[in-house]
Amino acid sequence: MFTMKRALVALGGALLVAAAALPATGILSIDTVAGPKPIVGGTRASTADYPWVVEVTLNGAQHCGGTLVKENKVVFAAHCAAGHTASQFTVYQGRDDRQSTAGKSSKGSALWQDPAYRSASTGHDYAVLTLATPFTGVKTLPLASSSDSALYTAGTNSTVLGWGSTSSGGAGSRYLMKVDVPVVSTAKCNTAYSSTKGDATQFCAGFDQGGKDSCQGDSGGPLVAGGKLIGIVSWGSGCAAPNKYGVYSQVATGNSVISAQL
């Protein structure tokens, strides 16, 4: 994520505004908009179990997370893509440890971001990076669609993954991390972020007491439930802060516009 704390972009429709996150590359918090952060309160994860989770680097530096939805297509956040060109990005797949040389890599060849995107906190935080070299044979993750509304029901258990900070404002994680967080009701999300103008492309996930959340550097990465990509880490306010949930872009809501780029 970016400086924000880490938000999730939903596919389905409820507006969930998280309080302590900024854009994935730095998104995890609304107070600080822009800059990368890692999973807070999570555990180590393996790309052997989650092969579709990829690291997106910018000019050689860790930048955001992403999800492989086709062998040559990575879905991530528009705030991670804004102001950059496809050739500046290199994507790594199958590399749990960022300091290792394991896995595959590919440069970007084309970049699309939702034309309605203005800022992470106002929604439409969707982007698609086309890879110059497809990750042939790697399992991909399907997008949630309008028929998956049940996955956005409050209380639904979901998993967010990334190499972001493991504490608010901390350094990015060397290893891939994951944490399970429940989807939060639209009412709670709106209360947490009452001063932020969001839209139906956003929703929240997290715990009232805080302690577990996505963070800076996790931006663009996946929020998964029911075997589908339901959200994209977008922003938030204060990683893992009480009553400040992660905000995600709803994949179900953005499915048609995203699918048109695949």
Nearest Cα to Cα of residue 50 among 224, 232, 251: 224
Q: Which helix (H) or strand (E) holds 246?
A: strand 246-250
Catalytic choice (219, 234, 237, 249): 219
49 in active site:
no
DSSP secondary structure letter of residue 121? G
Question: Which residue among 96, 119, 121, 125 is the active-site one?
Answer: 125
Active site residue 125: yes
Q: What is the distance between the alpha carbons of residues 140 and 142, in angstroms, rounded to a whole number?
A: 7
- Whole-angstrom distance, CA of residue 241 vs CA of residue 212: 9
- Spot the catalytic one: 63, 79, 114, 124: 79
Q: Is 148 a catalytic residue?
A: no
Question: H or E segment at 189?
Answer: helix 186-192
CA 187 vs CA 43, 157, 191, 194, 214: distances in Å:
29, 18, 6, 10, 21
Please identify every residue annotated as catalytic: 79, 125, 219
